[in-house]
Structure 1
Amino acid sequence: MRKRTIQQFSVICTAALLLSACASKGSAPEKKQEADNSKQESSQLVSGEDDELDYPKRAIEMIVPFGAGGSADMMGRTVAQLMGNYIDKPINVVNKAGGGGVEGTVYVNGQEADGYTILEITPSMPIVEAQGRAPINFSECFVPIGNFQVDIQSFAISKNNPNFQNLDEMLAYAKENPGKVKVGGTSPGGLDDFIVSGFAKAAGIELLYIPYNSAAETKAALLGGEIDIYQDKLISFLQMIQSDDVVPIVTLYDRRLEEVEEMKDVPCTVEKGINFTQGSWRGFAVKKGTPQEIVDYLEDVLKKCYDSEEYKETAEKDKSDIIPGYMPAEEFGKLWEEQLAAFREVFAK
């Protein structure tokens, strides 16, 4: 575990950057018939010369470059299960956490460009590349399959926190005690680190960021009193709130989340005069050089997963699609470029 006091980045990354408008969901037939039909269609996807695609012939490995229990892990396992409705071979999820996504990214880059190793990606990848901390350039080594989710960030505290019980009290305490408020997250030097930095800069306070190896460790640290604030994306965050062990104090968004019962009374940063909104996207990529017909096949399967009735039911339950998240490969690739350029500008200052 590493500790460091946050001195804020000078440019605020807004919700308009990360929470880009995405394509809306289409309609779908009954879940069982859809899965059976789509599995047959996907397994018979053909190349441009009308030859049947001989893929996949064995299990596919999905690398989640973050620890178990967090939003990236939850989405990866959800998508792997959904993909099983359309692909006859297993989709095995493997967590390879470390370095803000670097360890998992480097691992996938070391595999064959054959479509049998898929990488889940988040804004941590362009952040790490913009900082020049990775041994490879993510944008030059991978090609997109598509984006699946866009999520909203929130902060929560333990209901037993002795120093503050809401956002106003936290801000007052932090101003009186610079660097004493401890915020836990994952991906040191990645998205969580950046979010804590941006929030503190906009709020005019100094926070102590403490990264952990996984969201599960971070949650345990909050409940054990090691940290004051737990920050995460809504898909993972919501379960903590429903347990009644934690109290949400702010959503890093431009409005309250009226559609989420547990969050409807939680203030957003904008209404509190804090000019910082931030979220995350989560999608998939494969190593550059993967045959285009395989990339197209995986993009087709990912879209079927997103449009499925099964995912709609899941998203309604865990509120993972408040902002429609799907982007096809081409659009997702453009988002990579925009993100990388924006983060390079941030870290150059």
Structure 2
Amino acid sequence: MPKTFKLAAAVLACAVALGAAASEYPQRPITMVSPFPPGGATDVITRAVAKSMGASLGQPVVVVNRPGAGTTIGGAYAAAQPADGYTLLMATNTTIVGARFLYKDLRYDPDRFEPVGIVGTAPMVLLSAKARGFRSTDDALAYARQHGQNTRIASQGPGTLSHLLAECLQSAAGLKMSHIPYKGTAEAMPALINGDVDLFYDTVGTGMTQAQGGTVDVLHATGPARMSTYPDVPTVAQAGVKDCQMQAWWTLVAPAGTPEAVLARLRQALQETMQHEEVRRSIASAGTEPADGRVQGYREMVSADVEKTGDLIERAGITLQ
């Protein structure tokens, strides 16, 4: 048989094998990585989506928490796995956008992930320790001006949106506080409640739950308009802080090179998942507006955030050691 025919036959055999594997997908449990520790909004969202997608796909979807380094530990782990559809990542804008500016030795290319679909979006809320007695953002900033770097502002970790907003607040107000990074809300919230830190940007779900329980005060939210569920909370712009309007988002992604047939099956399962009322309620309970699970608009969302985040990081002079 001529070499050209042998090569063509080999290519065809590979294509058939890949197609067969994709058509039979999934044949075993799937891992869904959450880049935050248990207890926060990302973990709640990931577990709700994983449970429902498992039912749709006919195989368990197991959540694995790999927190740390501003979500980049989880991002690097997921990116390094085989592109076979058996490892997925619940990526945030920190994983896909912020990390590229803040980590010189980032161990993955954020643009090479294959998007499965958008899961949800949410503003962040600025919380203050109850003991401080702040009733507004102005109160908090007046305290910070008086106490300087003795004012402690927590974040969910270096490079997270919580951190970026903390730096944006300081830059906009023309002052400097001490940034205290934690590994997610599960660590940062107790520190705020205990008065170990003074301020903390958190996701709406956990933040407003604590505020309604009387353990912390909420000063503003970072969305473009007041939240319909919490209309008494002013926006960051209404609180007098300029150019700090930013929202968190969650998108399910797969490693680069995942077969199109596998991606199509995953996208179908995610869209089915995002139609389930139980899933939407769980996501909403985390203070997040559920999306429809579609992939459309993902690239545009990332592009817009890259421009805005890059400008913020440069303006605020944010660097990570």
Query: In the superposition, relative to structure 1, how do residues 51 and 205 fare at CA in structure 2: closer, same or farther (>3 Å)?
Result: closer
TM normalised by structure 2 equals: 0.84
Query: Please, which of 164, 173, 191 is the counterpart of residue 161 of structure 2?
Result: 191
Superposed displacement of residue 137, structure 1: 3.9
Match of 2:15 in 1: none
Aligned residues: 297
Query: Please, which of 255, 267, 278 is the counterpart of residue 310 of structure 1?
Result: 278
Give me the whole-angstrom Cα distance separating, in 2, the residues matched to 1:135 and 1:51: 32
Match of 1:274 in 2: 241
CA contact (8 A) 1:118 1:286 kept: yes
Give me the whole-angstrom Cα distance separating, in 2, the residues matched to 1:71 and 1:61: 19
CA contact (8 A) 2:126 2:218 kept: yes
State, as a whole percentage, how many aligned pairs show the same letter. Answer: 25
Query: In the superposition, relative to structure 1, how do residues 93 and 64 fare at CA in structure 2: closer, same or farther (>3 Å)?
Result: same
Give me the whole-angstrom Cα distance separating, in 1, the residues matched to 2:106 and 2:126: 32
CA contact (8 A) 1:157 1:165 kept: no
Query: Please, which of 23, 28, 34 is the counterpart of residue 58 of structure 1?
Result: 28
Is the partner of 1:277 in helix, strand or coil? coil
Match of 1:256 in 2: 226
Query: In the superposition, relative to structure 1, how do residues 281 and 142 fare at CA in structure 2: closer, same or farther (>3 Å)?
Result: same
CA contact (8 A) 1:250 1:267 kept: yes
Quick one: which amino acid aligns to residue 194 of structure 1? L
Query: In the superposition, relative to structure 1, how do residues 99 and 329 fare at CA in structure 2: closer, same or farther (>3 Å)?
Result: same
Query: Please, which of 130, 152, 172 is the counterpart of residue 101 of structure 2?
Result: 130
Query: Please, which of 295, 299, 307 is the counterpart of residue 267 of structure 2?
Result: 299
Superposed displacement of residue 167, structure 1: 2.3
Higher helix share: 2
Give me the whole-angstrom Cα distance separating, in 1, the residues matched to 2:39 and 2:291: 20
Superposed displacement of residue 91, structure 1: 0.8
TM normalised by structure 1 equals: 0.77
Superposed displacement of residue 314, structure 1: 3.3
CA contact (8 A) 1:238 1:318 kept: no
Match of 2:131 in 1: 160
How far does the alpha carbon of each residue in 1:155-213 deviate from its partner, in whole angstroms, 9 at most, with x for none? 1123222x634322212111222222211121302322111111222233322211111
How far does the alpha carbon of each residue in 1:106-143 deviate from its partner, in whole angstroms, 9 at most, with x for none? 11122111000001111112211123434334334311
- Higher RCO, Cα 8 Å, sep 6+: 1
Query: In the superposition, relative to structure 1, how do residues 140 and 152 fare at CA in structure 2: closer, same or farther (>3 Å)?
Result: closer
Match of 2:7 in 1: none
CA contact (8 A) 1:105 1:138 kept: no
Give me the whole-angstrom Cα distance separating, in 1, the residues matched to 2:247 and 2:78: 25
Give me the whole-angstrom Cα distance separating, in 1, the residues matched to 2:126 and 2:311: 26
Tell me if 1:288 matches 2:256: yes
Query: In the superposition, relative to structure 1, how do residues 317 and 112 fare at CA in structure 2: closer, same or farther (>3 Å)?
Result: closer
CA contact (8 A) 1:147 1:329 kept: yes
Give me the whole-angstrom Cα distance separating, in 2, the residues matched to 1:348 and 1:166: 28
Query: In the superposition, relative to structure 1, how do residues 344 and 137 fare at CA in structure 2: closer, same or farther (>3 Å)?
Result: farther
Give me the whole-angstrom Cα distance separating, in 1, the residues matched to 2:136 and 2:110: 40
Quick one: which amino acid aligns to residue 180 of structure 1? N
Give me the whole-angstrom Cα distance separating, in 2, the residues matched to 1:158 and 1:116: 42
Match of 1:119 in 2: 89
Query: Please, which of 37, 52, 77 is the counterpart of residue 67 of structure 1?
Result: 37
Query: In the superposition, relative to structure 1, how do residues 313 and 72 fare at CA in structure 2: closer, same or farther (>3 Å)?
Result: closer
* CA RMSD across the alignment: 2.5
How far does the alpha carbon of each residue in 1:43-64 deviate from its partner, in whole angstroms, 9 at most, with x for none? xxxxxx8998211111100011
Q: List gaps (5 residues or longer) in structure 2.
A: 1-18, 316-321
Match of 2:53 in 1: 83
Name whichever of 132-141 and 64-73 sits farther off. Answer: 132-141
Superposed displacement of residue 99, structure 1: 0.9
Give me the whole-angstrom Cα distance separating, in 1, the residues matched to 2:282 and 2:297: 24
Quick one: which amino acid aligns to residue 234 of structure 2? P
Match of 1:265 in 2: 232
Q: List gaps (5 residues or longer) in structure 1.
A: 1-48
CA contact (8 A) 1:131 1:344 kept: no
Name whichever of 339-348 and 221-230 sits farther off. Answer: 339-348
